[in-house]
Amino acid sequence: MLVGLGLGPGDPELLTLRAVRVLQEADAVFVPGRLAQRLVAPYRDAEVLDFPMTGDEDRIRSCMERNADRIAGIAASGTAVLALIGDPNFFSTFTRLCEVMAQRYPDIPCRTEPGISAITAFAAAAGISLSEGFVVTDRGDPRCRILLKVRKPRETAGRLRKEGFRRFVLVERMYLPDMRICRDDELPETCDYLSIMYAGR
């Protein structure tokens, strides 16, 4: 079995009790990067797999297949865990990996254990309420929008202002030691890949 395990937004204290137990009980633990590896380290050793952040679909597919082959060696007879920042069902690498696993190893089941999602943590970090309803997308026309992985926040805000959005909050590297929160006219030209922007009408 392959388990996609959510580790939360990056603060070690925001791992769930279930996450700690799953890590300790797994036959092997894999992670997609060093940040996830540091979160897992107090409970288990973890092997870092290559999940490239790129638009090159051929490279992504090749890495997914290689990772599926590595994980299948454990998951075929035991429990392999892929532990990821955030939640495994919410804009996650895990979803794509499961698609490849289903094609190459259809007898190996995949399931998820949730973590605190980036959206939930963002609302707390930014001190805003999302109770009016929202759509997480880079398209659409809601009262507010949540945009993930915003690399050019000032440019993005400029486009959204033309659509009637007036309030902006950017949270960069959320709950990590160097977290930064910027609002409205303070938005930077560029920011880290680990960023979320709120836009309100």
Please spell the DSSP secondary structure of 33-98, one letter per residue.
SHHHHHHHTTT---EEP----SS-HHHHHHHHHHHHHHHHHHHTTS-EEEEESB-TTSS-HHHHHH
Same domain as 124, residue 101: no
Same domain as 135, residue 83: no
Last residue of a domain, one of 70, 96, 113: 113
Q: What is the CATH number of the domain that holds 145?
A: 3.30.950.10
Same domain as 67, residue 109: yes
Residues 6+ apart with CB under 8 A from 81: 2, 3, 4, 5, 22, 23, 26, 28, 29, 30
pLDDT score at 7 = 96
Last residue of a domain, one of 113, 148, 173: 113
Domain that holds residue 102: 2-113
Point out which residues pair with 2 in neighbouring strands. 80, 110
Token pair 């006219």: residue: 185
Same domain as 166, residue 103: no
For the segment 134-161, what is each residue's pLDDT rounded down to a tens digit?
A: 777 655 556 888 898 899 999 999 999 9
Same domain as 173, residue 99: no
Q: What is the CATH number of the domain that holds 36?
A: 3.40.1010.10
pLDDT average, residue stretch 49-69: 87
Same domain as 36, residue 122: no
pLDDT average, residue stretch 89-114: 92
Share of the chain above pLDDT 70, in %: 97
| Confidence class for position 39, pLDDT limits 50, 70, 90 | very high
pLDDT average, residue stretch 150-177: 93
Residues 6+ apart with CB under 8 A from 99: none
Same domain as 109, residue 16: yes
Same domain as 89, residue 69: yes
Q: Please give the tally of structural domains in the chain.
A: 2
pLDDT average, residue stretch 74-78: 96
Same domain as 29, residue 108: yes
Same domain as 99, residue 13: yes
Last residue of a domain, one of 93, 113, 133: 113
Same domain as 103, residue 128: no
pLDDT score at 55 = 76
Same domain as 137, residue 52: no
